[in-house]
């Protein structure tokens, strides 16, 4: 009887241990992470399931590796990835994609930060609110987080050893839309100011938009999204997409033409093959070499120094 009781109790204890709530994703040890909002985010729901990795066995692999699909994010954060070697002073706020339902936090987040660090660029990874937080104006949440993140980057510029005049944004898919949204919605905050960070500009100094969605309206013959309206003050922008992208290459082409018509310095790259959601993972397809194009572009617009002769 004693032995049976012991086994049952041990199973109960083990169940309690296994059932303890663990974060679905945490930055690597030693990295600084700050909350975007000092209290609850604007309009935050009173209850929400805990953050979770929504990846299933049915989700496809990218370059032979799985993708972490982080969901139920209600407490947005900004994680600082500083270059370990040479620091150019440039910084990029990174917006992972995921259809405003999840965040591809490794494929389009941490792996991007590793690449930016190798270029001497500080990466600021934004874990913005999902699910169903965009595209603006369906919800203000993700764009509020993006505006606040750029302001925080400028407020912490000296501490994080970055140039407040060389802070850009880089986004993929829905994150690409978010990069375009903050590039065209920076003249006023979509929330009541919280602190000194909100007194600083949230206009990016440059933007990189990779296989974006929501920039051309498929149900309106791919008309430009009227909520994303570039002006002459929209920052220089790099745009890339594949012609066979199921999200539709018109998103990139239409947005580029809107930038061109507004006389914004812009660069467009369209490849015949590539599909969607490849991040920085190299495959046999030429489009996956796009980081080299961005590196050249950043030197062209003088965000990074010209290569030594």
Q: Mean pLDDT across the stretch 89-101?
A: 98
Between CA 220 and CA 226 the distance in angstroms is 12
The Cα-based distances of 1 to 13, 114, 211, 215, 262 in angstroms read: 19, 57, 64, 68, 81
Q: Mean pLDDT across the stretch 177-192?
A: 97
Between CA 163 and CA 122 the distance in angstroms is 10
Share of the chain above pLDDT 70, in %: 92
Q: What was the pLDDT predicted at 276?
A: 97
Task: Say whether pLDDT at 206 is over 80.
Answer: yes
Contact call for residues 97 and 105 (beta carbons, < 8 A): no
Q: Is residue 5 very low, low, confident or very high in pLDDT (cuts 50, 70, 90)? A: very low
Q: What is the pLDDT of residues 22-52, one digit of tens each?
A: 578 999 999 999 999 999 999 888 788 999 9
Q: What was the pLDDT predicted at 308?
A: 64
Q: What was the pLDDT predicted at 22?
A: 57
Superfamily the domain 58-300 falls into = Alpha/Beta hydrolase fold, catalytic domain (3.40.50.1820)
Q: Is the peptide bond before 137 cis (omega within 30 degrees of 0)?
A: yes
In terms of pTM, does the model score above 0.85? yes
| Domain boundaries of the chain, sorted by first residue | 58-300
Q: What was the pLDDT predicted at 260?
A: 98
Q: What was the pLDDT predicted at 259?
A: 98
Contact call for residues 215 and 254 (beta carbons, < 8 A): yes
Alpha helix (H) residue ranges in the chain? 2-19, 111-118, 141-155, 157-160, 174-184, 250-261, 290-300
Q: What is the pLDDT of residues 285-307, one digit of tens each?
A: 999 999 999 999 999 999 999 87
Alpha-carbon torsion angle 293, 85, 161, 183, nearest 10: 20
């Amino acid at each position: 009887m004693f032995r049976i009781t012991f086994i049952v109790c041990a199973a109960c204890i083990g169940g309690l241990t296994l059932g303890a709530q663990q974060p679905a994703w945490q930055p690597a040890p030693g990295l600084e992470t700050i909350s975007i909002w000092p209290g609850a985010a604007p309009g935050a729901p009173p209850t929400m399931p805990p953050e979770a990795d929504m990846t299933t066995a049915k989700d496809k692999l990218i370059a032979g590796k799985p993708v972490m699909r982080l969901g139920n994010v209600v407490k947005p954060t900004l994680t600082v990835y500083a270059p370990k070697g040479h620091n150019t002073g440039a910084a990029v706020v990174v917006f992972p994609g995921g259809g405003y339902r999840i965040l591809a936090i490794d494929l389009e987040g941490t792996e991007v930060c590793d690449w930016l660090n190798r270029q001497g660029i500080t990466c600021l990874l934004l874990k913005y609110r999902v699910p169903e937080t965009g595209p603006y104006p369906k919800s203000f949440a993700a764009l509020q987080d993006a505006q606040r993140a750029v302001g925080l980057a400028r407020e912490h510029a000296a501490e994080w050893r970055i140039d407040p005049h060389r802070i850009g944004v880089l986004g993929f898919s829905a994150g690409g839309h978010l990069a375009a949204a903050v590039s065209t919605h920076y003249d006023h905050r979509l929330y009541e100011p919280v602190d000194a960070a909100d007194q600083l500009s949230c206009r990016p100094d440059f933007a990189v938009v990779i296989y974006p969605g929501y920039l051309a309206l498929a149900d309106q013959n791919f008309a430009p999204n009227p909520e994303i309206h570039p002006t002459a003050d929209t920052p220089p922008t790099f745009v890339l997409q594949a012609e066979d992208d199921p999200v539709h290459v018109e998103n990139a082409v239409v947005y580029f033409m809107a930038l061109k018509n507004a006389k914004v310095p812009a660069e467009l790259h369209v490849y015949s093959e590539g599909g969607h959601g490849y991040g920085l993972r190299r495959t046999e397809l030429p489009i996956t070499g796009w980081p080299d194009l961005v590196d050249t572009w950043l030197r062209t617009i003088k965000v990074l120094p010209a290569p030594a002769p």
